[in-house]
Amino acid sequence: ARKQGGNNHQFYTPQLQLVSLAPLSLETDLRYALEREEFEVLYQPQVDMRTGQIIGAEALLRWHHPERKLISPVEFIPIAEETGLIIPIGEWVLRTACTQTKFWHDGGFGFLNIAVNLSVYQFNQENIIQKICDILRETGLNPASLELELTEGSIVQNPEATRRIFSELKLRGIQISIDDFGTGYSSLSYLQQFSFDSLKIDKCFVRNITTDSKNAAITIAIIQMAHSLKLKVIAEGVETQAEQYFLSQYECDVMQGYLFSRPIPAKEGYQSKAGQFGA
């Protein structure tokens, strides 16, 4: 092939190799990421609208890849789900977040709730309740301090199972939050079928809330509907004071976003006039 001349070498440029091998090697690397301790859980504060105090945090996973540095969960969670790796990884997140929160509780921040994202693949496991309870027992965290974030897509898949799991969780005082509310294609009928604690308004609705009348209308409708169903409302992606003001006017219960803090490493803790935790 070399004899054919100069052009052929382009197939061997590092760039091309990167393109063709990247997905596969990312998958391979993901298999070793847990044992190589490349994951980190960051914590993003959640602020109570009425008191302005921090009442909890959401656990958000990060992957420190040895060569590619930080990889976004948007990129690797789907691979983890396709390969089944989400099961051990998700358990590690839950255990890490519960351990950390118990540590904060013991350090005097007993009011902190911890919200953990649960993939549909985790949720569909036969023994999911057992696994969650084992982790709570192991770490000593009060079950009432744990909030599980599930997307509407994952709860409508198997209504029978969802009802059973939700009532088991409720029995133990664990809270359930519907994540990315309104971004899927589910009908609203599940709101009366299942009992849970809060709705989380996705940042795509909160964005431009003060300038985009459609986003504003959707957000107001979600808050009012949630409240008439006695559900708590959490707004995510709050970036500006104007957005905070808007949300407070419509009595959104909890806010989360860069306005208060980005997701931060546990050891940094969080300190502001809104309160503090950690470190």
Q: Which of 29, 149, 152, 243 binds Ca ion (CB under 5 A)?
A: 149
Residues 90-118, buried b or exposed e (16+ Cβ, 10 A)?
A: bbbbbbbbbbbbbebbeeebeebbbbbbb
Smallest gap, in angstroms, from Cβ of residue 93 to ligand C2E? 4
Q: Which of 29, 152, 179, 243 binds Ca ion (CB under 5 A)?
A: 179
At 64, which amino acid appears? H
Residues in a beta bridge with 178: 150, 199
Tokens at residue 214, please?
């459609």
- Residue pair 147/56 in contact (Cβ under 8 Å)? The answer is yes
CB 202 within 8 A of CB 180: yes
User: Bridge partners of 70?
Assistant: 64
Closest distance between ligand C2E and the C-beta of residue 259, in Å? 7
Binding pattern for the stretch 168-207 against ligand C2E, x by CB under 6 A and - elsewhere: -----------xx----------------------x----
Q: Which of 13, 20, 72, 167 binds ligand C2E (CB under 6 A)?
A: 72
Q: How far is the CB of 88 from ligand C2E (least distance, A)?
A: 12
Binding string, residues 79-98; x marks residues near ligand C2E by CB under 6 A:
-----------x--x-----
Binding site for Ca ion (CB under 5 A): 117, 149, 179-180, 202
